[in-house]
Amino acid sequence: MNLRIVRLAYWLIRLRWFAILGIFIAYYLAKHSLHITISDLPVYIIILLLILLNVLSISFLKYLQKSQIRKSLKNVKRIINFQISTDLIVLTVLLHYSGGVENPFIIYYIFHMIIGSIMLTTKESFVQTSFALLLLGSMTFLEYSGIIQHYPLQGFITSNMYNNLTYLACTGFIFISTSYFVVYITRTIIKQSEKHEAAYLLANAKLKQKDKIKNEYVMRITHDIKGHITAIQRCISVLNEKLTGPLNSQQEEFVNRAHKRIQILNKFISDLLSITNRKLLQKTEKKYFSLKNSIEEIIKMSENSVQEKNIGIIKNIEASVDNIYGEQSSIEEVLSNLIQNAIKYSPAGKNIFINVWDKQENVLIEVIDNGMGIPEYEIPLIFNEFYRASNVKTEIKDGTGLGLAISKYIVENHGGKIWVDSIENLGTTFYLLLKKEE
Amino acid sequence: MNKNKILIIDDDVDLLASTKLFLESKNFEVETAINSKIGLGILKSFHPELIILDIMMDTNLEGFNFLNELKSDDNFKETPIIMSTGMAKSIGVNMRAAIEEVDSLPKTKFIDKSGDWEELLQAIKELL
């Protein structure tokens, strides 16, 4: 069922409650503050009638929504048409008992015309408008010709206007032209917005479809490339580990070269796919997790490379730091990148320090090494994709130039910050500021 | 001491050949199958103590389907299974839920397929 029309139907019902309250307040103020004479009984009857009509409309709408039949849409429109028509009748009766055409509230017919134009078709809107003008015209004519009684607003209007033909003709002309003009303008605007809404919905559906195709494409490529690389790597490993028998020194040298290169390639492809997938898929599954445990886990995982280089990792985590909100695997990837870098670029025997500070809404992580550092002019560039500092390129060949780019992407996606301080040949400190809460 | 028996099901023959050779060098008895149908046939005569199962084969989820079959078969539901795929865990598109389910099953482990043997050996050690 068209949800927009149902929403509007409920909106109309809500408006009506306000209208009922408005009538009551206007009646009360007019009578007691302005001392205008108004007949009580018709007002009470009308208020009760409106409440009844509104309750009926709600029940019928609820019934239609439950029944879920295709014809429901037509019926919802019927309710709206019925509501507007009855409102117009009620307004006319109310006006009749409170001064007729002399009551400034005749302007309220315009509200119904606007509401009608928003909810109904152009034809229906013009029919409702004509109906309103017919009601107002009949009342005015009947009062003018004395067929029905005129109830003057004593204490508000001092001279009689309801039988002044010039006044009636002018007011009638202005009112009729205003009414049709208002409906025309409203319909034009509404049609425009309906067109835009339809275009937007279509575009959204197309985008979703494209997104799905793209996701599958990325997944397929990821799987296929990694599949080949993995198979090659394992086949070379078989030779490299001499599972097929001994190799002569030259064979061994070349198998070794191939093995090393394929390892670098594998890492490179993993990094490349990681950053591409992150950018393309933008899928994150965030939750609360223990940052403390993650850091300890990553340090434990680095034990092998740390022992090889005789490096100590000295950690200092402030006691109040624990849970933060984010995607655990991504944040762990960032931490692992930074810690692995620190190990890789530290000379043997130099310690690495990891400090974690509680900064109210944030957590500040410092990863400090006493390694080769980054040349000053290159500091602004190191988070760029594929960038590798000139001094590491010559010494360490297996970097992909993507680790920091991925890290920056992840951190910024979490609303955090990553930056670096470094002095060449003295050491580097990476700072990571992460939000604790969502 | 008897050798532990392992069945590898994967649609990549090069991967099967190299992994078989490697695991045999680590003192396992290894059989291979290039799809789950053949795997099922071998399963019945070979009675492996552990199965290494690829996820994306003929269909994206063939491995999962086969896993479900095994887990509902009284003869094999206790057999430890290592699920692997070339996909990184974090980028599994419609796999993530399935992978989490795998992780929660007893005697089942999910690992990323990589050229590195360490993770595979570690997982085998854990499950046997």
List, in order of start, the domains of chain B with CATH numbers.
Answer: 4-127 (3.40.50.2300)
Gap from A291 CA to chain B (nearest CA, Å) = 18
Q: How confident is the model at residue B87, as a pLDDT?
A: 62
Report the candidate in A134, A129, A133 with the shortest Cα–Cα distance to residue A187.
A129
Share of chain A above pLDDT 70, in %: 96
Report the candidate in A398, A389, A412 with the shortest Cα–Cα distance to residue A334.
A412
Q: What is the pLDDT of residues A311-367, one digit of tens each?
A: 889 999 988 888 899 988 889 989 999 999 899 888 888 899 999 999 989 999 999
For A26, the domain range is 3-163
Gap from A434 CA to chain B (nearest CA, Å) = 20
Chain A residue closest to B57 (CA)?
A: A223
- Cβ distance A111 to A121 under 8 Å? no
Provide the 8-state DSSP code for A359: E
Residue B39 and residue B41: Cα distance in Å, rounded? 5
Q: How many helices and strands in chain B, by DSSP H and E?
A: 5, 5
Mean pLDDT on A143-156: 85
**B contacts of A240 (beta carbons < 8 Å):** none
Q: How confident is the model at residue A430, as a pLDDT?
A: 95
Are A288 and A159 contained in the same domain? no
Q: Which of A163, A193, A216 is the last residue of a domain?
A: A163
- Cβ distance A434 to A331 under 8 Å? yes
- Are A330 and B86 in contact (CB < 8 Å)? no
Q: How confident is the model at residue A71, as a pLDDT?
A: 61
- Are A222 and B88 in contact (CB < 8 Å)? yes
Mean pLDDT on A46-51: 90
**A contacts of B96 (beta carbons < 8 Å):** 285
**Contact map slice: A 260-289 vs B, CB within 8 A:** 262-263, 266, 270, 273-274, 277, 281, 283, 285
**A contacts of B15 (beta carbons < 8 Å):** 227, 230-231, 234
Identity of the residue in A241, A244, A281 whose CB atom sits nearest the CB atom of B91: A281
Whether residue A276 lies inside any domain: the answer is no
Cα A395 to Cα A171, A262, A414, distances in angstroms:
92, 19, 33
Chain B residue closest to A275 (CA)?
A: B91
Q: How confident is the model at residue A1, as a pLDDT?
A: 45
Q: How confident is the model at residue A419, as a pLDDT?
A: 95
Chain B contact present for A347, CB below 8 A: no
Q: Which of A163, A188, A222 is the last residue of a domain?
A: A163
Q: How confident is the model at residue B5, as a pLDDT?
A: 94
Mean pLDDT on A7-36: 87
Burial (CB < 10 A; 0-12, 13-18, 19+), residue B102, is buried
- Are B93 and A229 in contact (CB < 8 Å)? no
Q: What's the structural domain count of chain A? A: 2
Chain B residue closest to A239 (CA)?
A: B18
Q: How confident is the model at residue B89, as a pLDDT?
A: 46
Chain A residue closest to B16 (CA)?
A: A231
- Cβ distance A237 to B115 under 8 Å? yes
Chain A residue closest to B90 (CA)?
A: A329
Residues A406-438: b if buried by 16+ CB within 10 A, e if exposed:
bbbbbbebbebebebebeeeebbbbbbbbebee
Residue pairs spanning A and B at CB distance below 8 A: 85
The bridge status of strand A417-423 relative to strand A323-326 is unpaired
- Are B14 and A273 in contact (CB < 8 Å)? no
**B contacts of A241 (beta carbons < 8 Å):** 22, 25
Gap from A337 CA to chain B (nearest CA, Å) = 16
Residue A36 and residue A340: Cα distance in Å, rounded? 85
**A contacts of B88 (beta carbons < 8 Å):** 222, 270, 273-274, 277
Identity of the residue in A227, A243, A330 whose CB atom sits nearest the CB atom of B90: A330
How open is the CA angle A397-A399-A403, to the nearest 5 degrees? 170
Report the candidate in A381, A373, A386 with the shortest Cα–Cα distance to residue A426.
A373
Gap from B90 CA to chain A (nearest CA, Å) = 7
Q: A438 falls in which pLDDT band (50, 70, 90)?
A: confident
A216-225, A320-329, A361-370, A429-438: least confident range: A216-225
**Mean pLDDT over each residue of chain B, to the nearest integer:** 82
Gap from A282 CA to chain B (nearest CA, Å) = 10
Residue A79 and residue A245: Cα distance in Å, rounded? 87
Other CB atoms within 10 A of residue A124 CB: 16
- Cβ distance A271 to A312 under 8 Å? no
Q: A134 falls in which pLDDT band (50, 70, 90)?
A: very high
- Are B115 and A241 in contact (CB < 8 Å)? no
**A contacts of B22 (beta carbons < 8 Å):** 234, 237-238, 241, 243
First to last CA, chain B: 14
Chain B residue closest to A216 (CA)?
A: B93
**Mean pLDDT over each residue of chain A, to the nearest integer:** 87
Whether residue A195 lies inside any domain: the answer is no
Q: A282 falls in which pLDDT band (50, 70, 90)?
A: low
- Are A232 and B14 in contact (CB < 8 Å)? yes
Gap from A284 CA to chain B (nearest CA, Å) = 9
Q: How many helices and strands in chain A, by DSSP H and E?
A: 12, 7
Mean pLDDT on A216-236: 81
Identity of the residue in B12, B91, B117 whose CB atom sits nearest the CB atom of A277: B91
Mean pLDDT on A184-190: 94
Q: Which of A135, A163, A191 is the last residue of a domain?
A: A163
Whether residue A59 lies inside any domain: the answer is yes
**A contacts of B60 (beta carbons < 8 Å):** 219
Whether residue A194 lies inside any domain: the answer is no
- Are A227 and B91 in contact (CB < 8 Å)? no
Q: How confident is the model at residue B48, as a pLDDT?
A: 92
Residue B20 and residue B2: Cα distance in Å, rounded? 17
Residue A244 pLDDT greater than 80, yes or no: yes
Q: How confident is the model at residue A185, as a pLDDT?
A: 95
Q: A429 falls in which pLDDT band (50, 70, 90)?
A: very high
Strand partners, A289: A324
Identity of the residue in B17, B91, B115 whose CB atom sits nearest the CB atom of A233: B115
Q: What is the pLDDT of residues A104-119, one digit of tens each?
A: 889 999 998 999 999 8
- Cβ distance A415 to A436 under 8 Å? no
- Are A227 and B12 in contact (CB < 8 Å)? yes
Whether residue A296 lies inside any domain: the answer is yes
Give the sign of the dihedral formed by CA A342, CA A347, CA A348, CA A352. negative
Q: How confident is the model at residue A177, as a pLDDT?
A: 95
Q: What is the pLDDT of residues B37-46, one digit of tens each?
A: 899 889 889 9
Q: How confident is the model at residue B51, as a pLDDT?
A: 93
Whether residue A325 lies inside any domain: the answer is yes
Q: Tell me, what's the ipTM?
A: 0.77
The tokens for A237 are 């490993």
Q: How confident is the model at residue B93, as a pLDDT?
A: 47
- Are A244 and B21 in contact (CB < 8 Å)? yes
- Cβ distance A367 to A413 under 8 Å? no
Q: A186 falls in which pLDDT band (50, 70, 90)?
A: very high
Q: How confident is the model at residue B86, as a pLDDT?
A: 67
Residue A34 pLDDT greater than 90, yes or no: no
Chain B residue closest to A263 (CA)?
A: B115
Indicate yes or no: pTM above 0.80.
no
Residue A419 and residue A431: Cα distance in Å, rounded? 5
Q: What is the CATH number of the domain that holds A361?
A: 3.30.565.10
**B contacts of A233 (beta carbons < 8 Å):** 114-116
Q: What is the pLDDT of residues B62-116, one digit of tens each?
A: 888 888 888 888 888 888 999 887 665 444 445 666 667 777 777 888 887 777 7
Element holding A408 (H helix, E strand): helix A403-413
